Structure 1
Amino acid sequence: MSHRILFKPILLLFPLLALALLLVASPALAQTGGSIGGFVYFDSNGDGLMNAGEPGLAGVSVAISGGGSLATAADGSFLFSGLAAGTYTLTQTDLPGFLSTTPNQVAVAVTGAVSGINFGDALPHTITGVIFEDLNEDGDQGLGEPGIPGALLQVYRDNDGDGVVGISDTLLGADSSDVQGNYRIPDLPPGPSVVYIELPPGYLPGGASTQEVPLPIISSQIGANTSYVNFALIAAQGQLAQLGGRVWIDADGDEQIGAGESYLSGVVLALVNDANGNSAIDAGETKVGSRVTGSDGAYAFADLTPGAYVLVVDAGSVPAGYLLSQDPGVLAFTLAAGEQKTLDLGFFDPTTAAPLQLAAWKQEVRQIGKPIYSANQIDALAREAEGMTALFPTVAVIETVITGPAKNHEEQARKQYAALLLNVASDRLLAQTPISLPGLTTAVTVTGALSDIEAVLWPPAAQADTRVYLRVTELAKALNQGKGLPQPTLRSARHNKNDVTAALQMTDGVAVRALPGDGIYLRNWYVDGFDAALLSASHPRLHLTFSGSEGMVEVRIVQTIGKHAYALGAITPNGPGVFTVDMRSPRTLQELSTSQIQLAIVRQSTSAPAQITLDAATITLP
């Protein structure tokens, strides 16, 4: 039904009088002179534009908000007129068997005549073909060349137009080949596309075949909308490669999976084919697939074509602030035919513990005051530290250097260096921890600083300029004081909502990470001014302030001290308030400041995703 309003003058002999009567009788005419017009057209190339040669479609229903609809004319046009100023919603309904290449609903602001509101439709396309073993490698399926069942075929929209499947492309449809090797993917829209085959185990592309075929899908109003794409494969005969490994929390940053170190589940890994072998991901390079680590931290990519690859770790799927233990260069590699590559990936927290200064290590070596380490532990740490350098024990055992006098600048540098090595051996400083000490070193990790100092001190008495010794003395001293290290996430014993992500979510009973890692992590508490004596007399208390929640939820609280995790219980913050729980008592304020608190939703009463808002978290001592 049209919104056109027509006024027909009766007094034909008196046109001026008729016009006057018209204006008096219909004062709203000036306010209802708006219109919306456009076309419904056959979008053969699927680009969403009405191009030359693309005809209009007749008889298509177009409705306007407020009631009323019309069918397009023979040329596909439509027009709603007599509209008052305002915003209207047009809704176009596809003809039977057609699909849309543009949105079926659009809002239009009317202040006058509006044109060019077009809707694109097309007939769906089908891609079909056969996957077969090309025994004679001629590219055609001949007699006796069997179909290959179970091969996965996918059609992607080639969003970047490069002719290969990339991370930015979107999946349109998929099918697996049947027992004869046939597949069929229907209901595809027109537009630039790529047909991709995930190689079945034991096969490679044969001859001129590739894993992906670019295909500009065109929709036609006459004839069959079908394209045929076959894939000729050959038996790999042991040529395919494999990649797998585990992802874990490398607590000591030594790049080795050690006793007590836990695996990381839910880490998302994507493998990209590095076509040009430059160890980087470039436009047009294909993602082979994605994997998510299980509870054992394991992942695996099977049946890989030999060549260069880059493994991409989703930073949002590892704990917040954690760094890769290995050099990032390990993520780019080349797989040889038949190779079974193991690539374990460790992640560590670069702010796990504060280093001890030289004076404190003297007390530890001499076992005076209240030492943290026993004599046997110090002996073991000293031997481990000596194994990191050519300087000790060639010059002297590390305990002697720590406690003995320093007669010159070189010996002063050795003392600070010895303390630095003990901090690394004891994991108070991790080798891969990034540093920033401009003016003292260009190194960007603790390992780099160790190498810088070693180059000055070894061989002994090799430096004519004493200023070089002064520089490395200050460098080692700064690291022993904790300078130049990553800044903790907070600078007080309070976590504010500006410092942590406010939401926890859970879907289908599985926690969804709001911060990287499983839930919210609170760490790096500053406890300056706390009374250490109170630690032995009472439990620290954790106070969590919530401003509200959506849905009934239960939140689990876990405290981690070093490598040990302790369940503190669960709370149900189903409204604003402060919730308090007793914490596990650490032995020292240092352990308290590095305690990690994990919050994760473990249960909810509704099927809709739950959300809670954490405003602040505070630790207090009674």
Structure 2
Amino acid sequence: MPGAIGDFVWYDSDHDGIEDVGEPGIPNVTMALYRDTDGSGTLTAGDTLVGTRTTDADGGYLFNNLPPATYFVDVTDANNVLVGLTHVVANQSQPDPTGAIVLGASEVYKDADFGYYQTPTSGYAIIGDTVWYDDNSDGIQQPGEPGIPNIQVCATPTGGGASICDTTDSNGHYLIEVPAGSYSVAPINPPASYLATTPVPHLLTVQIGEQYLDADFGYDDKNGPLLGTIGDLVFLDANKDGVCNSGDSALSGVSVDLIRDSNANSAWDAGEPIIATVTTVGGTACSAGNYLFSGVPGGRYLVHVSDTNAVLFDYTKSPTGRGRGGQQQPG
């Protein structure tokens, strides 16, 4: 059986190289995998490019279907997501490119992780980090609720002074560098016809060097059905007919990505962002979906089965049928 290599790129706010609770993954970072063709044990121009991946909305990625060999993972960042960030090399955060990864038969290697952080200017702190569509109005960003791009968020000193602002990226993330002090933080151009589901403004005090990443803002379409849903099923296709029917079952633990098809050509082109990632849940009924993206604004989208958890490690995709997302076991 083949092997796999992955799996995580994250914002390491305390830059200790350890994946701490509350430190978010970094989406849409492009990665490349090379095979050590020349046997040198380091990445050289003579090594073979095996494939490329893009980190999902949680910062995860996986190269699968790999035969035993020596490999290197290289962070290529073709989308310029990491511009302005500093790479950590310590503990769980690997060098870029990695050292030689000797992959055995059927081995799943998931320690090719990379941490990054923004270094505040001396005497400054950082405030962030998300504005999102809160479809169920609970004030908590669920995995299937996308961020809102192009929202300007400003931190205004509570004692008076000029506001300092940043604009959210394709995943609704922002980072504002500010002098230490107390601030009122708020989006200044929230989406029209939406209501906030979290307190606005967000009041906080930051110390020198602090990275405060909890200034988050949710918005729901309380004034009308402006948000939609996309789903719904990844299943074990026992009879390999491409249709979920009697004898088939839903597969759990499979990561699925939602991609904004910016040019509406039904293909995943360079630079088109992954805006949300969900993980399937199991079940036995074909009528019930096992994944759902909610809070999706009108537009064109693509759905990609990324499987960063390697659940489909020894499965193959079923023929196209009415039941989308079917996977069959080999044999």
TM-score > 0.5 by shorter chain: no
- Structure of higher RCO (CA pairs closer than 8 Å, 6+ residues apart): 2
Higher alpha-carbon Rg: 1
Query: In which range does the TM-score fall when normalised by the shorter chain?
Result: 0.3 to 0.5
Higher strand content, 1 or 2: 2
* TM-score, scaled to structure 1: 0.23
- Which structure has the highest helix share of the two? 1
Q: State the TM-score, normalizing by the size of structure 2.
A: 0.40
